[in-house]
Amino acid sequence: MENERNIFVIGLDDFHRRLLQTVRGAEHYRFHGLIPYDRIVNPESYPLEDLLHDAQRELDRFPGTVDAIIGHWDFPTTSLLPLLQAHAGLPGPSLEAVLRCENKYWTRAEQAEATPDATPPFALVDPQDDAVLDDPPLPYPFWLKPVVAFSSTLGFRIDDRGDLRHALARIRPAIGRFAEPFDALLQRARLGARRASLAGGYCIAEGIIGGRGCTLEGYVLDGEPHIYAVIDSLRGPNGVSFVGYHYPSELPERVSERMKETTRRIIRHIGLEHSPFNIEFFWDEANDDIKLLEINPRISKSHSPLFELVDGASHHEVAIDVALGRRPEFPRSEGEYRYAAKFMPRVYGDAEVTRVPKEDDVARLRRRFPDAQLAIHVREGQRLSELPDQDSYSFEIGEIFLGGDSRDELTERFHEAMRLLDFRFSSRVETNYD
Task: List pLDDT tens digits, range 35-51.
Answer: 999 999 989 999 999 99
Q: What is the pLDDT of residue 195?
A: 61
Looking at the DSSP bridge assignments, the partners of residue 276 are: 219
Mean pLDDT taken over the chain: 94
Residue 326 burial by Cβ neighbours in a 10 Å radius (0-12, 13-18, 19+): exposed
What span, in angstroms and rounded, lies between the C-alpha atoms of 249 and 253?
Answer: 10
In which band, very low, low, confident or very high, does the pLDDT at 236 lie, cut at 50, 70 and 90?
Answer: confident
Q: What is the pTM of this model?
A: 0.92
pLDDT digit string, tens, across residues 139-153 = 999 999 999 988 778
When pLDDT is cut at 50, 70 and 90, the band that residue 196 belongs to is: low
pLDDT attached to residue 371: 94
DSSP 12-73: --HHHHHHHTTSTTGGGEEEEEES-HHHHSS-S---HHHHHHHHHHHHHH-SS---EEE--S
Query: Does 238 have pLDDT greater than 80?
Result: no
Q: Express each pLDDT in 50-100 by its tens digit.
A: 999 999 999 999 999 999 999 999 999 999 999 999 999 999 999 999 999
Greater model confidence, 378 or 153: 378
Single-letter amino acid code for the residue at 404: G
Q: How confident is the model at residue 212 (pLDDT cuts 50, 70, 90)?
A: very high
The phi, psi pair for 10, rounded to 5°, reads -70, 130
The CA distance from 299 to 216, in Å, is 10
Answer for the pair 427, 348: CB distance below 8 angstroms, yes or no.
no
Contacts of 165 (CB under 8 A, 6+ apart): 133
For residue 393, name the pLDDT band (cuts at 50, 70, 90). Answer: confident
Handedness of CA 198, 217, 348, 359 (dihedral sign): negative
Task: Determine how β-strand 5-10 pairs with β-strand 29-34.
Answer: parallel
Q: Which residue pairs from 32-39 have beta carbons closer than 8 angstroms and sit at least 24 positions apart in sequence? A: 32/6, 32/7, 32/8, 32/62, 33/8, 33/9, 34/8, 34/9, 34/10, 34/58, 34/59, 34/69, 34/84, 35/10, 35/11, 35/77, 35/80, 36/11, 37/11, 37/12, 37/13, 39/11
Give the 3-state DSSP-derived string for 9-20, with helices as H, strands as E and coil as C.
EECCCHHHHHHH
* Residue whose C-alpha is closest to residue 69's, from 87, 51, 57: 87
How many angstroms separate the CA atoms of 139 and 128, rounded? Answer: 20
pLDDT-derived band at 1 (thresholds 50, 70, 90) equals very low
Of the listed ranges 170-174, 224-228, 237-241, 296-300, the one predicted with least confidence? 237-241
Q: Tell me what pLDDT residue 193 has.
A: 63
How does DSSP classify residue 334?
-
Contacts of 69 (CB under 8 A, 6+ apart): 7, 8, 9, 10, 34, 59, 81, 84, 85, 88, 90, 92, 323
Q: Are residues 57 and 261 in contact, defined by beta-carbon separation less than 8 angstroms?
A: no
